[in-house]
Structures are given as C-alpha cells and as structure tokens.
C-alpha cells in the first residue's frame, strides 16, 4: 500500500503530538511493508512568522497533491490581537475549505481504564461510544456577510446553510449510523433559529432514504447536558459547525481528556486528519502534551485513507493496552494515582509504538 501524507504540524503542542502520530504510522508501514511518504509544510503561526500568511500557497498545493493531510494544531497567544482573517486559525479554515471535506468525524468513546480518573461516574460513562459528525464548511464560520466595523462598534457573523449543504452531511451521518447502532441524533436550535429550522426539516426529509435508522432531534442546550448525564444513549450525532465544535470538546470529558480525541474530515478532494484539541500554549514545549488523540488520528488515516482497518484497530488496541498498564500523561491523572506511571509526550509515544509493534508481530 502506497500513501503520500502531508504533515502540517503547526504551532504549540502541534509538532510534539504530530511527531508521535507520524512515528506510529512509520511503525505500521515498516511492519507491513507499506510505502508511506511524509512531506512537511507550514500552517498557522509558524507560517505567519516565516511566510507572512497563515496558509502559504505551497502548503495548499502540497495538500492537494497528497493522499491525506495530517494536521497538528494552530494558534498562539502572540497572535491574539490579530483580526480573525489574519490569525493562525484562518489558515486552518482555509485548508479545510481548499480540501473540501464537509463531514468532520469526531469519535468519542469512554475508556474503562480511565474511569477512575474521570469526573463522571463509571456507571455513567461505561460503554459510551458516540460518533459526532460535525458539519465543517458552513454555518457561522463561513457564512456571509460578516464584518467587524470598529468605527461603528459593531460586528456580526452569519449562520447560513443551504438545503444541499445539510443534505450531504446528513447522508453521511445516516450511512455511518447504518453501520453502527442505527440511531441518529440531529442537534440544532430550531426553537429559535431559522437556519436550524431549515436544518431540522432537511434532516427529517433525508431520513426517508434511511428507514432502518431511527432519527431524533435535540436542541443544542439540552444536548450539552444529555451527553454528560446519559452519554450511552447516543450513537451518531450530526450537527452544524459551531455546535459540533463545542459539543466535541465537551465529549473529551466522557473519553478522559480533550487530548484523547481524534478526527477525520471526509467528503472532499483529500481527507484531513486532526486531533480535536488545539495548540495548548499553557503546556507547549514542556513534554506534557497527551499524544494519544494525535495517535488515534493516525489510526483514522489508516482506516479512511489507507484502507488498513486491521492496522487501525491495532493502533487503537495499543492505546487501550498502554492505559490498561497504567501509563498516563499528566492530563489523564485526577484523583487516585496509585498504580499509575506518568509519562512525557515522547515516552507515551514510544510506549504505544512498542505495543503496536508487538501486536502486529503477534498477529502475523
């Protein structure tokens, strides 16, 4: 299997966690005789500093010429006073738009090994397994008009969707639900927003194509409570861009840490893979970052771009195994610390790699 992967590690902990994800992919490639090639390009704050723009054309060209793009994170406090379209985050929105993927899959499942350290009780989270499908190219992030009129002291963004944009992401969500537990929850704010009424009506219409999937609607405010109170009741959850951004960070609490969450964006020209977390300036450069979200993002590259499902599962099993053995990064340690070994980013990466190697060898 041949795969050209563009690595855009970005800022803060982005490079730290991405290094570990790439190392895992190299391990899988060498064990299975696969040819994975890696090219690195700049995005975000590092690109602003070196190229004068958060997304150089060179990075866009390389992304479009690759089979998969693996992204770390962008953003840094030194850029906080810049206008939205000049910031590192603008580079991320631009690469998403250029690649065209509109369905951002964000799986969040509970690890029973982490239950002891969760602020939620084990009987609440045990067995929870939610697949969020976040619409990624519409809504408030991209809607026009938008403006910040400093002189007038007024600013606005537009939450805008077309029927077609909702249909295409809803179809992907229904198809994924068909392969899972056949339940889809669509999240909106249809009691207040016109755009959410269009969303709800469209999802309801698309549901007719999928009679084997049961559909329910939830308002986003109530949903933010339900996912913590009864996370096991949800299977696939589809929602608009900003609601999905917020709900998926929240679902880090179900999994154990924001640093555990991976994502894959499909439906466009080239799939984009990024952990859900950001550049974490508060811990960057200290070896404290949890690389497991980035490593599970690498598993999604194997699943969705390389067609290596068994190897993807092996990487996920290795993560589970390492947690089972009591290895933790600091973000995963809360409450009872007995029997746990706290590791740095690179040590955790090495543990997972070692375990992947063992699992792959024993499966041959």
Near ligand NAD by CB under 6 A: residue from 27, 36, 66, 89: 89
To ligand IPM, the closest distance from the beta carbon of 91 in angstroms equals 9
To Mn ion, the closest distance from the beta carbon of 249 in angstroms equals 6
Residue 141 falls in the annotated catalytic set: yes
Residue 67 falls in the annotated catalytic set: no
Near ligand NAD by CB under 6 A: residue from 135, 188, 274, 316: 274
Catalytic residue among 67, 183, 249, 357: 249
Which residues make beta-bridge pairs with 104?
134, 265
Stretch that binds ligand NAD, among 1-9, 62-70, 198-206, 272-280 (CB under 6 A): 272-280
**Strand-pair category, 68-73 with 271-273:** parallel
Stretch that binds ligand IPM, among 87-95, 119-127, 153-161, 231-239 (CB under 6 A): 87-95
Stretch that binds ligand NAD, among 69-77, 111-119, 127-135, 174-182 (CB under 6 A): 69-77
The answer to whether 276 contacts ligand IPM (rule: CB under 6 A) is: yes
Near Mn ion by CB under 5 A: residue from 11, 113, 188, 245: 245
Catalytic residue among 85, 221, 233, 282: 221
The answer to whether 92 contacts ligand IPM (rule: CB under 6 A) is: yes
The answer to whether 282 contacts ligand NAD (rule: CB under 6 A) is: yes
The answer to whether 137 contacts ligand IPM (rule: CB under 6 A) is: no
Residue 245 falls in the annotated catalytic set: yes
Catalytic residue among 245, 273, 331, 351: 245
To ligand NAD, the closest distance from the beta carbon of 330 in angstroms equals 7
Catalytic sites, residue numbers: 141, 189, 221, 245, 249
Which positions lie near ligand NAD, rule CB under 6 A?
13, 17, 73-75, 89, 92, 258-259, 274, 277-283, 289-290, 293, 331
């Amino acid at each position: 299997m041949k795969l050209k992967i563009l690595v855009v590690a970005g800022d803060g902990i982005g490079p730290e966690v991405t290094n570990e994800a790439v190392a895992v992919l190299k391990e899988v490639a060498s064990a299975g005789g696969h040819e994975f090639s890696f090219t690195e390009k700049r995005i975000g704050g590092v690109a602003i500093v070196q190229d004068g723009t958060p997304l150089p054309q060179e990075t866009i060209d390389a992304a479009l010429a690759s089979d998969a793009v693996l992204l770390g994170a962008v953003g840094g406090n030194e850029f906080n006073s810049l206008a939205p379209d000049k910031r590192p985050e603008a580079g991320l929105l631009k690469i998403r738009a250029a690649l065209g993927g509109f369905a951002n899959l964000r799986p969040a499942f509970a690890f029973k090994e982490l239950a002891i350290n969760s602020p939620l009780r084990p009987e609440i989270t045990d067995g929870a397994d939610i697949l969020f499908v976040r619409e990624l190219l519409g809504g408030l992030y991209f809607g026009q008009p938008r403006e910040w009129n400093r002189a007038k002291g007024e600013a606005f963004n537009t939450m805008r969707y077309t029927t077609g944009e909702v249909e295409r992401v809803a179809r992907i969500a229904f198809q994924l639900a068909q392969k899972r537990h056949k339940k889809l929850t669509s999240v909106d704010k249809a009691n207040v927003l016109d755009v959410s009424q269009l969303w709800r009506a469209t999802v309801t219409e698309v549901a007719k194509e999928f009679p084997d999937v049961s559909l329910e609607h939830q308002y986003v405010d109530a949903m933010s409570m339900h996912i913590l109170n009864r996370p096991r009741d949800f299977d696939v959850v589809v929602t608009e861009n900003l609601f999905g951004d917020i709900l998926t960070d929240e679902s880090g609490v179900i999994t154990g840490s924001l640093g555990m969450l991976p994502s894959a964006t499909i439906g466009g020209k080239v799939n984009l893979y990024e952990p859900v977390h950001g550049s974490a300036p508060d811990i960057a450069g200290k070896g404290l970052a949890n690389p497991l979200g980035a490593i599970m993002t690498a598993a999604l590259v194997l699943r969705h771009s390389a067609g290596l499902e068994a190897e993807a599962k092996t990487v996920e099993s290795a993560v589970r195994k390492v947690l089972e053995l009591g290895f933790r990064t600091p973000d995963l340690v809360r409450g009872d610390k007995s029997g746990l070994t706290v590791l740095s980013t690179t040590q955790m990466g090495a543990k997972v790699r070692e375990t992947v190697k063992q699992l792959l060898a024993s499966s041959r």
